[in-house]
Copies of this chain bind each other. A is one copy, B any other.
Amino acid sequence: MTPTATTIKDSVHDYIELCPTAEALLDTAPMQRLRYVRQLSTVQLVYPSANHTRFEHSLGVYHLASRAVDRLGVDDPLADRLRAAALVHDVGHGPFGHQTEAAIERHLGRHHDEIEWLLTDSELASALEAQGLDPEAVAATVDGRGPLGELVSGSLDVDRMDYLVRDAHHTGVPYGTIDHSRLLYSLRTVDGDLALEAGNVATAESALIARTLMNATVYGHHVSRIAGAMLDRASERVLRDAVVAPERFARLTDSELLSLLAEHESTADFETRLRERSLYKRAIWAQRGTVPDRFVGLAYDRTRELEREIAELAGVDPSAVIVDSPPVPSSPESRAKIVVNGELRRLEERSSLVAGLDACAREIWRLGVYAPEPALSAVRDAAAAVLETEATVAP
C-alpha cells in the first residue's frame, strides 16, 4: 500500500484501497450507474434493509480480487487485468439485474456477462486502454476465460465471496456469513488452475451451504419472485412495443425502468403495484413431484401459451396470469477444485454434503402461478386444471 492510495469506506470490508486503474474506472458513467441498480433487486420488498447496490458490491469484488492476487503472488499486468475485471464485472447488468436478464436476452440475444459490447463501445473501453489494458482481455476475464479468469467467474470466484457476506450484512440473515478470508487464504494455483489447499473441504462446503440457505430464505423468496415475474412481463411489453430500444433498455437504472413503465399504458398498473407493494399473489406454488415433469423449467413461449390457456379457462385477461417455472438450479461450487493428497479433485467427489445440498436445492424449487387479488380464485382453479396439480395456495 502506498501512503497516497485513495481508500473507500465499505460497510463490509472496511477500507478498500484503490489502485490507479480502479480510480480511473470508477470515474466512468457505466460504473457510476451501478449506484442505482440494487444488488438484490426486489428482495427489498421482503427484507427492507436490502438496498445495497451493484456499485458497492463491485468495489467489494475488486477488493477481494486484490487480496487474492497479492496472496497468489500474481504480478502486473495480469494482476491489474484481474482487478479491473473484478471491478467492472457487473456493468453489463440491466435494470434490476437478473430480473430483466431474460427479457434483454430475448430482444438483444446476449447475456449480461457478455460485456464485450460495453467494453468495446464505451467510455469504459477508453478508460481501460488508457491504463494499458486490453478491453477484450478484460471482457474474457469477466466471462471466466483466460489466465485465472475463474477467480472472477468460476466455482470459487470472488463475486460469490462478496455477495454472500454482503447480502447477509444487509438483509440481516446470517446464513451468508462465510469465512471469506479463509477461502482467500486457501487459494493456490496448480498448473494454472485455481484450487483450494488441502484440508479445506469444509471451507468449500461452507460457501455452497451458504448459497443454498440464502436461496431458501432470501434469493428465492416468493414475494421477490412474484415481483421479478411482474417486471419480466412489463419489460417484455415495453420492448415488444418498442417503447425503448433494447440497447437503451439494458442500460437503464432500476428507477429509470420504473419511470418508463409508469408512463406506458400497458405497464402502468405493474409499476403502481411494484411501487406500492400490492403485488400479484400466489394461486399455485408447486414443489417437484406435485406437478408433471413437463412443466418443470419452461421455455418462455411455452410459459406464455400456458398463461393464455389458464386465462381463457379462468375467464380473465391474459395479463392477469403469470406462470413462473424456473429451471432446477445447479451448484457451480460443487465443481470447485481442491488439493487432496497432492492431486486436484472436484469438491463433489470429496464431499458427502454436495449431493445433499443438490437435493436440497431441488426441493426448494417451486413452480408458481400468480394473479391479482380479484382474479386469484378463478386463476387458481384454472391453473390447477391446466397444470394438473393440487398444489394450490389456500385463499
Would A188 and B356 be within 8 Å (CB), given that A32-B275, A259-B259 are in contact?
no
Would A185 and B48 be within 8 Å (CB), given that A32-B276, A175-B179 are in contact?
no
A56 located at the interface, meaning its Cβ lies under 8 Å from any Cβ of chain B in the complex: yes
Whether A10 lies near B48 (C-beta < 8 A) is: yes
What sequence of 0s and 1s flags, for each residue 341-355 of chain A, a beta carbon within 8 Å of any chain B beta carbon?
Answer: 000000000011111
Q: B residues within 8 A CB of A73?
A: 3
Interface residues of A in 1-46 (CB under 8 A from B): 1, 3, 7-12, 14-15, 27, 29, 32-33, 35-36, 38, 44-45
Tell me the complex Cα distance, A255–B352, Å. Answer: 40
| Interface size in chain A (residues, C-beta < 8 A) | 75
A315 located at the interface, meaning its Cβ lies under 8 Å from any Cβ of chain B in the complex: no
**In angstroms, how far is the closest chain B Cβ from the Cβ of A201?**
8
Whether A49 lies near B258 (C-beta < 8 A) is: no
Residue of B nearest to A260 (CB): B259
Whether A356 lies near B352 (C-beta < 8 A) is: yes
Would A53 and B48 be within 8 Å (CB), given that A172-B11, A259-B255, A356-B353 are in contact?
yes
Residue of B nearest to A165 (CB): B174
Whether B172 lies near A9 (C-beta < 8 A) is: yes
Q: B residues within 8 A CB of A355?
A: 356
Q: B residues within 8 A CB of A304?
A: none
Question: Could you jot down 27 A-B contacts, CB within 8 Å?
Answer: A7-B185, A8-B48, A9-B171, A11-B47, A11-B50, A11-B170, A11-B172, A12-B172, A14-B181, A15-B182, A32-B275, A32-B277, A35-B48, A36-B275, A174-B177, A174-B178, A174-B179, A175-B179, A202-B364, A205-B213, A206-B213, A209-B209, A259-B259, A351-B360, A352-B359, A355-B356, A356-B356
